[in-house]
Amino acid sequence: QVQLQESGPGLVKPSQTLSLTCTVSDGAISSGSDYWDWIRQPAGEGLEWIGRIHSSGTTNYNPSFKSRVTISVDTSNSLFSLKLSSVTAADTAVYYCANLELATLIPWGQGTLVTVSS
């Protein structure tokens, strides 16, 4: 089964850029034609979709983040990445990577907590 694993700094200073990577096992990004998603969840709150990238590089972003977010893909290393700029305390959350259109086949990553604090 394909597995996803998030990685990146757990602490980011306000106004800086949050950077996370999602590694996809078994080279699934390069072997398929799929979209790969980032979702976040502030503590005690609901889920918020940030955006997605196709293995070809095409992106869709949530307009709520559009001016601050960049999602990229590296098919040769089977990973995709999230950058969120100008972060504030409101961006403190657990960040998940997933493949929402193939959720019946691919479970979400376990999630990684990112805290924005000086």
Partner 1 sequence: DIQMTQSPSSLSASVGDRVTITCRASQSINRYLYWYQQKPGEAPKLLIYDASRLPSWVPSRFSGGGSETEFTLTINSLQAEDLAVYHCQQNYRTPWTFGQGTKVEIK
Residues in contact with partner 1 by the rule CB under 8 A: 37, 45-49, 51-52, 60-64, 96, 100-101, 103-104, 107-111
Q: For residues 27 and 20, what is the distance between their CA atoms, to the nearest angstrom? A: 18
Q: For residues 59 and 68, what is the distance between their CA atoms, to the nearest angstrom? A: 14
Provide, rounded to whole angstroms, the least separation between the CB of residue 62 and partner 1: 4
Identify which of residues 45 and 74 has a Cβ nearer to partner 1 in the complex. 45
Is residue 41 within 8 Å of 48, Cβ to Cβ?
A: yes
How distant is the alpha carbon of residue 106 from its chain centre? 15
Provide, rounded to whole angstroms, the least separation between the CB of residue 15 and partner 1: 25
Is residue 52 within 8 Å of 34, Cβ to Cβ?
A: no
Identify which of residues 30 and 108 has a Cβ nearer to partner 1 in the complex. 108
Identify which of residues 62 and 75 has a Cβ nearer to partner 1 in the complex. 62
